[in-house]
């Protein structure tokens, strides 16, 4: 990069430092509720009578329910009086937990909501119930509903948010004073303590009130100098006699697929590639309140949600895609660790699977095993990764154990094994999380692996011959308080370490990083609600001590009115690739704003140094990613985003990449929608500037149309169509394949 460009980046970088320096911070006492003696636990009454989940709350048992109010705005205001009143009610029968919210609003016409698919209303008004059913301060079940009672749920664990699909009932309705939401959660859906008498759970009830600010209202004041949210949750007493029933769930499915493709693309003749009609069944049995056994024969492992197109040009390592398949989502939080040694999408097409997850006292356990008919293999390196598929069946198994220690600390063990003809990968290790104080904590993980690859993989991809072993280590120390955070991390992964049932595309490196963050918080009414600056340093070498990269970073974050978020990042450093050291100086930004409930806009971008990995030389990258989301009424929404990237070298432009995603959704009701996804990829290569032959053009157009009718996560009907078009220099954009698919699933609860 030319010196003038470097000076420009340095100037903007220094200006960002000045801009991001926090102003006078709101003191912890300002606007914060007075701390009083510990609040007594609330008793949840057991009730009886006929119950109808209709959002009216006119049954007699609601008069006996525990009634609380949400009295604290916790974000962006710091434990101040909320702008609206919210009442929360809770009761239970022997088989169900019942919760209800009366969300009052002085301007009910301003409520931001619409019909939406399950788990897909992050910008709406909503209410939520958060439960720590084991009183362990380590994991919570989270249940959310928008004003129409549409559901979202998940599990929050020590490693963050984990997708989860529980079967429960809810409804909601708008009123002339706001809205009402009613929830009915079967005890068979969740896990809890195996105890005959009263149990103690922890809880929070929340309400999101998105207007000028993304306001969050909660039941209790939150201490921003205590990183442990679950430690601050309040206690509930009750649930004596809570009964899961038989807790047996059978999920039969029938999936059909017809696929055609042009056998000699781009010749016009079509050939039938595949016709499938696959019945399958998955069984789930909660044989105790806290343990669940699952088994599946020819299970439905399909993923109807199309993966969004990502920019995969000029990348070093494999791309990560989230897991959405129901069998693997069940109890998945137990398998999460700091090093991603378990990644269930590695198992591509299992013929059968079994799974056991649960918790007994201080002991949590998870196990699954699946026979995979398609063996995808990631071959990692220190500077790039490769992938291949083995024509063999493999049995993949994972065993996870975690022990609760002290108040919220944990110790864990992990074993994974993948076996096939002339191939295996075995992994073992332990991990720990220690809370040193309410502001400081340490995580540690150590793994060791032993592997053997087939001879063809050894020859074709330069992998080690015979049995080989490797280790991986990860350490993080973190201090988190209201206005100051700092951290120190170290990670090393040996060249011959493999986690073939995980997602670790890089091996053969040692990395150290350190940084700190200063934060300034403001209550609503100021030009910002949060302003933060985080300088950091990263240094990484390979196992021979050769530099891979070193970076000095400055990250600045702004939150303000109109739900505005701006993140600026400046980087000055060096990066090596195949023995060459390159400058690594760049600026990037992320910005989004939501001026109304109907419209959201965002713009991301980057400019600076970028290695041309294909030809091993210096380059300069320019990236822009604009996007818009628009909601027309209660039923229709459209989102459009575009990624533009250009890479230049000294001789001129190397490539221009364009990726466009368009999503149209018409939501007929809370259960049914019609969705169209269009994804267009256009890579324009300047072949004269490549050191090897390359077609100057590549185009890909993907279409998916899906009708979905969903009563619950397992009782579903999907009917869809998808196809792919490809184009090259001599081939115009031509349809390559097409598929029609249908899936019927039913949850039989016994």
Q: Assign 712 to helix, strand or coil.
A: coil
d(CA 647, CA 242): 61
d(CA 432, CA 9): 41
Least confident of 41-45, 161-165, 427-431: 161-165
DSSP H helical ranges for 425-584: 455-461
- pLDDT number for residue 323: 65
d(CA 680, CA 701): 4
Residue 528 has pLDDT above 90, yes or no: yes
Chain position carrying tokens 């948010």: 161
d(CA 220, CA 234): 8
User: Which helix or strand (DSSP H or E) is residue 575 part of?
Assistant: strand 564-577
DSSP 180-238: EEEEEEETTTS-----SS-EEEEEEEEEEEESSSEEEEESS---TT---HHHHPEEEEE
Nearest-CA neighbor of 474 among 363, 341, 316?
Answer: 341
Residue 213 has pLDDT above 90, yes or no: yes
Confidence at 349, pLDDT banded by 50, 70, 90: confident
What is the rounded average pLDDT of the residues 344-364? Answer: 88
Half-sphere exposure of 258 (CA within 13 A, CB side): 7
How far is CA 546 from each of CA 72, 191, 390, rounded to the nearest angstrom? 53, 49, 33
Is the separation of the CB atoms in 491 and 476 below 8 Å? no
d(CA 84, CA 104): 6
What is the rounded average pLDDT of the residues 230-244? Answer: 93
Confidence at 488, pLDDT banded by 50, 70, 90: very high
- pLDDT number for residue 280: 87
Cis peptide before 266 (omega within 30 of 0): yes
Is the separation of the CB atoms in 501 and 396 below 8 Å? yes
Least confident of 16-30, 277-291, 334-348: 16-30
Torsion of CA 99, 102, 103, 109, to 10 degrees: 120
- pLDDT number for residue 211: 94
Residue 615 has pLDDT above 50, yes or no: yes
Confidence at 393, pLDDT banded by 50, 70, 90: very high
- pLDDT number for residue 164: 86
Residue 40 has pLDDT above 80, yes or no: no
Look at 610 and 48; give whichever has higher pLDDT. 610
What is the rounded average pLDDT of the residues 192-214? Answer: 94
Label each residue of 617-677 as H, E or C. ECCEEEEEEEEEEEEECCCEEEEEEEEEEEEEECCEEEEEEEEEEEEEEEECCCCEEEEEE
DSSP H helical ranges for 372-506: 455-461
Half-sphere exposure of 197 (CA within 13 A, CB side): 0
Count how many residues are written for the chain: 750
Residue 165 has pLDDT above 50, yes or no: yes
Residue 69 has φ and ψ, to the nearest 5°, of -120, 150
Q: What is the pTM of this model?
A: 0.87
CA end-to-end span of the chain, whole Å?
Answer: 67
Confidence at 39, pLDDT banded by 50, 70, 90: low
Torsion of CA 199, 285, 340, 571, to 10 degrees: -60
Chain position carrying tokens 């280790």: 471
**C-beta pairs of 724-729 under 8 Å, 24+ apart in sequence:** 724/700, 725/699, 725/700, 725/701, 726/265, 726/698, 726/699, 726/700, 727/697, 727/698, 727/699, 727/700, 728/695, 728/697, 728/698, 728/699, 729/695, 729/696, 729/697
How far is CA 206 from each of CA 88, 90, 238, 574, rounded to the nearest angstrom? 9, 13, 21, 45
Confidence at 412, pLDDT banded by 50, 70, 90: very high
Mean pLDDT of the chain: 89
- Token pair of 582 as six digits: 């390159």
- pLDDT number for residue 4: 44
User: Which helix or strand (DSSP H or E) is residue 100 part of?
Assistant: strand 96-104
What is the rounded average pLDDT of the residues 633-637? Answer: 95
d(CA 109, CA 106): 9
Is the separation of the CB atoms in 490 and 512 below 8 Å? yes
Residue 15 has φ and ψ, to the nearest 5°, of -65, -35
- pLDDT number for residue 35: 42
Is the separation of the CB atoms in 302 and 257 below 8 Å? no
Q: What percentage of residues in the chain have a pLDDT greater than 90? A: 71
d(CA 121, CA 145): 9
Q: 696-706 pLDDT, tens per residue?
A: 999 999 999 99
CATH topology of domain 32-238: Immunoglobulin-like (2.60.40)
Q: For residue 343, count other CB atoms closer than 10 A to its CB.
A: 19
What is the rounded average pLDDT of the residues 400-405? Answer: 95
Confidence at 322, pLDDT banded by 50, 70, 90: low
Least confident of 207-211, 287-291, 474-478, 695-699: 287-291
Q: What does DSSP say about strands 350-360 and 291-297: parallel, antiparallel, or unpaired? A: antiparallel
d(CA 605, CA 587): 8
Ranges in the chain annotated CATH 2.60.40.1190: 32-238
What is the rounded average pLDDT of the residues 500-506? Answer: 92
User: What burial class does residue 375 get, using C-beta atoms within 10 Å of its C-beta: 0-12 exposed, 13-18 middle, 19+ buried?
Assistant: buried
d(CA 100, CA 93): 15
Residue 312 has pLDDT above 60, yes or no: no
Confidence at 319, pLDDT banded by 50, 70, 90: very low
């Amino acid at each position: 990069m030319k010196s003038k460009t470097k000076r420009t980046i340095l100037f903007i970088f220094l200006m960002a430092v000045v801009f991001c320096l926090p102003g006078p911070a709101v003191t912890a006492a300002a606007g914060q509720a007075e701390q009083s003696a510990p609040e007594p636990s609330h008793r949840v009454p057991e009730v009886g009578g006929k119950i109808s989940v209709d959002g009216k709350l006119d049954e007699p048992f609601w008069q006996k329910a525990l009634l609380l109010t949400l009295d604290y705005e916790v974000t962006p205001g710091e434990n101040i009086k909320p702008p609206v009143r919210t009442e929360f009610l809770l009761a239970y029968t022997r088989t169900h937990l019942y919760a209800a919210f009366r969300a009052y609003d002085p301007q009910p016409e301003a409520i931001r909501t619409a019909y939406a698919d399950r788990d897909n209303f992050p910008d709406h008004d909503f209410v939520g119930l958060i439960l720590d059913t084991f009183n362990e301060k380590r994991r919570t079940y989270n249940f959310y509903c928008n004003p129409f009672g549409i559901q979202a749920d998940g599990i929050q664990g020590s490693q963050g948010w984990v997708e989860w699909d529980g079967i429960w009932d809810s409804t909601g309705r708008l009123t002339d004073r706001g809205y009402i939401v009613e929830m009915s959660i079967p005890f068979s859906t969740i896990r809890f303590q195996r105890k005959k008498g009263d149990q103690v759970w922890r809880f929070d009830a929340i309400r999101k009130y998105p207007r000028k600010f993304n306001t969050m209202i909660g039941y209790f004041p939150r201490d921003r100098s205590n990183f442990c949210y679950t430690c601050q949750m309040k206690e509930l007493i009750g649930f004596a006699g809570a009964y899961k029933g038989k807790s047996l769930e059978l999920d039969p499915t029938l999936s059909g697929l017809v696929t055609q493709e042009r056998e000699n693309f781009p010749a016009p003749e079509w050939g039938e590639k595949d016709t499938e009609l696959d019945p399958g069944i998955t069984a789930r049995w909660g044989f105790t309140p806290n343990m669940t056994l699952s088994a599946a024969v020819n299970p439905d492992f399909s993923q109807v949600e199309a993966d969004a197109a990502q920019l995969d040009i000029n990348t070093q390592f494999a791309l990560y895609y989230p897991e959405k398949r129901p069998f693997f989502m069940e109890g998945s939080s137990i398998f999460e660790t700091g090093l991603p040694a378990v990644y269930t999408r590695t198992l591509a097409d299992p013929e059968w699977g079994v799974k056991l997850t649960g918790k007994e006292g201080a002991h949590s356990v998870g196990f699954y095993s699946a026979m995979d008919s398609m063996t995808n293999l990631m071959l990692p390196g220190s500077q790039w990764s490769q992938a291949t598929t083995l024509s063999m069946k493999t049995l993949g198994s994972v065993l996870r154990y975690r022990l609760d220690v002290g108040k919220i600390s944990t110790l864990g063990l992990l074993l994974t094994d993948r076996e096939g003809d002339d191939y295996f990968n075995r992994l073992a290790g332990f991990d720990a999380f220690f809370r040193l104080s309410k502001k400081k904590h340490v995580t540690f993980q150590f793994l060791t692996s032993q592997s053997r690859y087939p001879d063809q993989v050894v020859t074709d991809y330069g992998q080690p011959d015979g049995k080989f072993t490797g280790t991986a280590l990860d350490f993080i120390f973190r201090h988190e308080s209201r206005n100051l955070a700092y951290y120190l991390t170290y990670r090393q992964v040996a060249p011959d370490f493999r986690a073939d049932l995980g997602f670790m595309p890089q091996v053969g490196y040692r990395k150290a990083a350190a940084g700190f963050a200063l934060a300034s918080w403001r209550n609503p009414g100021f030009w910002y609600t949060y302003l933060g600056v985080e300088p950091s340093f990263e240094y990484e070498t390979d196992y021979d001590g050769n530099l891979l990269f070193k970076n000095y970073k400055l990250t600045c974050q702004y939150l303000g009115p109109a739900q505005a978020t701006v993140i600026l990042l400046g980087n000055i450093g060096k990066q090596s690739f195949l023995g060459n050291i390159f400058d690594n100086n760049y600026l990037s930004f992320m910005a989004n704003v939501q001026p109304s409930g109907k419209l959201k806009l965002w713009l991301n971008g980057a400019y600076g140094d970028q290695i041309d990995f294909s030809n091993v030389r210096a380059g300069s990258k320019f990236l822009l990613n604009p996007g818009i989301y628009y909601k027309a009424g209660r039923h229709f929404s459209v989102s459009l985003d575009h990624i533009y990237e250009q890479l230049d070298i000294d001789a001129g432009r190397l490539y221009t990449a364009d990726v466009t995603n368009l999503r149209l959704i018409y939501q007929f009701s809370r259960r049914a929608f019609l969705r169209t996804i269009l994804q267009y990829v256009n890579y324009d290569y300047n072949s004269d500037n490549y050191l090897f032959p390359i077609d100057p053009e590549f185009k890909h157009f993907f279409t998916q149309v899906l009708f979905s009718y969903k009563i619950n996560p397992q009782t579903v009907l999907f009917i869809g169509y998808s196809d792919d078009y490809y184009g090259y220099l001599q081939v115009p954009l031509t349809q390559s394949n097409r598929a029609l698919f249908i899936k019927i699933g039913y949850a039989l609860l016994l």
